[in-house]
Amino acid sequence: MRILLTGGAGYIGSHVALVLLEAGHDVLVLDDFSNSSREAIERVEELTGRSIDTIECDLADQAASSAALRDEAFDAVIHLAGLKAVGESVAQPSRYYRTNLVSTLNLLDIMAEHGVTKLVFSSSATVYSPAAEGVLNLDESQPSGTGITNPYGWTKAMNEQIIRDVQTGRPELEAVLLRYFNPVGAHPSGRIGEDPAGIPNNLMPFVTQVAIGRRDHLAVFGDQYPTHDGTGVRDYIHVMDLAEGHLAALDGLRPGVEAYNLGTGDGQSVLDIVKAFSAASGQEVRYEVVAPRPGDVARAVADPAKANRELGWRATRTIEDACRDSWAWQSQNPNGYAGR
Ligand code: UDP
């Protein structure tokens, strides 16, 4: 198939592009490069020996995106484009709602214009309601779309609803909502990886930047949670496993809308990650415990059984693999793509 991959130059998108190309699909990337790099696309081309068609366009611009895709043919869409920083979404809610919701609406219209019925959407474990997060492992039947603590998470929940409603009006639509847990790691070559702009919000890129000496120490957000060592527990999934989940989702599409967790089913604490990363990299990761971060939950771990069963997909890589691959990326690219 020829797959339209929105946000294909980003951290997850570049790994998805690689996996699609390696599976024999053709890839058309649409990206506005506002928080991503052309270099990532070039490196995927180098790694796969395949070329990627690329359109630079803001999907939230209806006229521009519709025109840019008018003469393009594609069989399926994987929609990853969007703004993704939780803290920024609290400070700039209008921008987050406008960008993330309008992009999806435009894309759904473009799909209808082109007669395309296959859609894989990048959702997030943040759609689960905080009440559900007391549950040991979250499955897809847990309540979602209420009590979300930031606009970013709301845009994911609202996009899920938009896709469900559009599918009701267009029953031939085949959609999968992939609820990502915590993506970490990089391609094992270390050629592509996560390159956050500014100070990283997420744990793993912060840890790798401490290890390389770009940051002095990690602030551990709270150590009094009811977890095995008091620090927050999450389900860290290797980005290559996550990318393979998109391929499995494409193969599993059928009319309707289905949500699937992409996670490992295992929980790791902040201190577990610090230890695993130190062991994998041979670098000390200095840290200091500070106050909990508002809005954080003690534990969020997937029950991935539905994806295992219905998509025939499971995460196979370990947290040690993820730490080793993150370090390969960070140590070969100390300043990300800008450092070339
Ligand atoms: N965390 C931390 N220090 C940081 C960033 C994150 O202690 O600088 C913790 C955070 O409190 C949570 C875990 O690491 O328990 C994962 O946070 P992240 O922001 O990566 O993902 P989230 O699960 O919040 O989406």
Q: What is the DSSP track for 142-181?
A: S-BSSS--SHHHHHHHHHHHHHHHHHHHSTT-EEEEEEE-
Cα-based distances in Å from 10 to 53, 135, 138? 15, 32, 27
136 — pLDDT class (breaks 50, 70, 90):
confident
The catalytic residue among 152, 180, 236, 260 is 152
Among 203, 231, 286, 290, name the best residue to mutate to test ligand 1's pocket (greatest count of ligand atoms within 8 A of Cβ).
203
User: DSSP state, 334?
Assistant: T
Residue pair 106/59 in contact by the 8 Å Cβ criterion: yes
For residues 99 and 86, give the distance between their C-alpha atoms in angstroms, rounded to a whole number: 14
- Residue 246 has a pLDDT of 98
Query: pTM value?
Result: 0.97
Q: Give 261-275 as a DSSP string.
A: EES-S--EEHHHHHH
Coil, strand or helix: which one is 79?
strand
- Residue 340 has a pLDDT of 42
Query: Which atom of ligand 1 lies nearest, measured to the CA of 293?
Result: 11
Residue pair 114/66 in contact by the 8 Å Cβ criterion: no
> Which fold would CATH assign to domain 2-185+235-263?
Rossmann fold (3.40.50)
Query: Which atom of ligand 1 lies nearest, measured to the CA of 225?
Result: 15
Question: Cα(123) to centroid of ligand 1, in Å?
Answer: 18
pLDDT digits (tens, 9 = 90+) for 225-260: 999 999 999 999 999 999 999 999 999 999 999 999
pLDDT digits (tens, 9 = 90+) for 178-195: 999 999 999 999 999 999
Which residue type sits at 69?
L
Which residue type sits at 272?
D
For residues 229 and 135, give the distance between their C-alpha atoms in angstroms, rounded to a whole number: 18
Residue pair 212/206 in contact by the 8 Å Cβ criterion: no
Residue minimizing CA distance to atom 12 of ligand 1: 232
Q: Is-catalytic flag, 152? A: yes
Mean pLDDT of the region 310-327: 98
Cα-based distances in Å from 18 to 21, 75, 225, 316? 5, 18, 38, 18
Q: Which residues does a 6 A CB cutoff place in the pocket of ligand 1?
A: 182, 201-203, 206, 218-221, 232, 234, 270, 293, 296
Query: Which atom of ligand 1 lies nearest, measured to the CA of 204?
Result: 20
Question: Cα(234) to centroid of ligand 1, in Å?
Answer: 8
For residues 295 and 300, give the distance between their C-alpha atoms in angstroms, rounded to a whole number: 13
Cα-based distances in Å from 212 to 54, 235, 284, 287, 319? 32, 24, 10, 14, 19
Q: Phi, psi at residue 85, to the nearest 5°?
A: -95, 115
Question: Cα(125) to centroid of ligand 1, in Å?
Answer: 14
Higher pLDDT, 243 or 131: 243
Question: Cα(49) to centroid of ligand 1, in Å?
Answer: 36
Domain coordinates of the chain in residue numbers? 2-185+235-263
